[in-house]
Amino acid sequence: MTDQAAEARVRAWLEEAGRVVVLTGAGVSAESGVPTFRDALTGFWARYSPEELATEAAFRAHPQRVWDWYLQRRQALLSVRPNAGHVALARHAMMHPGQLTLVTQNVDGLHQQAGQAGTLALHGDIQAERWLDEPRTCCHQLPPQPGRPPSCSVCGNLRRPDVVWFGESLPWEVLAAAERAADNCELMLVVGTAGAVYPAAGLVHRARRAGARVVVVNPAATELDSLAHVRLVGTSAAILPRILDPAER
């Protein structure tokens, strides 16, 4: 099957499907210039391993160090914009209300910036914060005390990035919603992910077991290729507008 024929088949499936799930990974954001998690460990941070900066134990031991690393990552995102892939997904969702559920492993918020309502962010939001420990009444009574990191001025509870660290479970409400969508979809697009991280990759297995068609969009081979009915080889910024946006066909 030629690339054009494969894309035409996926477009037909999109038109037929009442329920579509799109699972995105780091490759989608990389096309906007967002460093992957490990690529962000450069310069001063090259002396640390991810486990020294992205675990609860690391934060408790060195809260300022971890906070500063996430602050640097947040600041780097200020100049980053959604790319054509993000925009095509958001536009398709607006043109087909209720059809598409977007599940992402990315924490950069680019899908939301593109206008993707209801994005299920499995690994959290790097721009958001939450309390490290269960908040007491005092944590809610006054704004956090400025610092690196901010803290409760009464009990000292620390604010932390609202992302999933190594060793932590995914937010159960978000994961449950993603699993329900995977179990009930007719078509799943797997975009810009190597398929090596679970439980996110497990959503593709669930969709396939439930009888959904699976399409993998990625420039390189992935660990989920054996589940795909169609593989579209290329970047999401190039391929998604062609299969989702009528103006690009």
Q: Which residues does the annotation mark as catalytic?
A: 123
Question: Residue 98 phi/psi, 5° resolution?
Answer: 85, -5
Single-letter amino acid code for the residue at 144: P
How far is it, in rounded angstroms, from Cα 26 to Cα 4? 25
- CA distances (Å), 147 to each of 100, 126, 138, in order? 40, 18, 17
Dmax over Cα atoms in the chain, in whole Å? Answer: 65
How far is it, in rounded angstroms, from Cα 180 to Cα 50? 31
How far is it, in rounded angstroms, from Cα 241 to Cα 89? 8
Given the structure tokens 């450069």, which residue do they identify?
Answer: 42
Beta pairing class for 120-121 and 124-131: unpaired
Beta pairing class for 120-121 and 213-218: unpaired
Please give the structure tokens belonging to residue 4.
């054009």
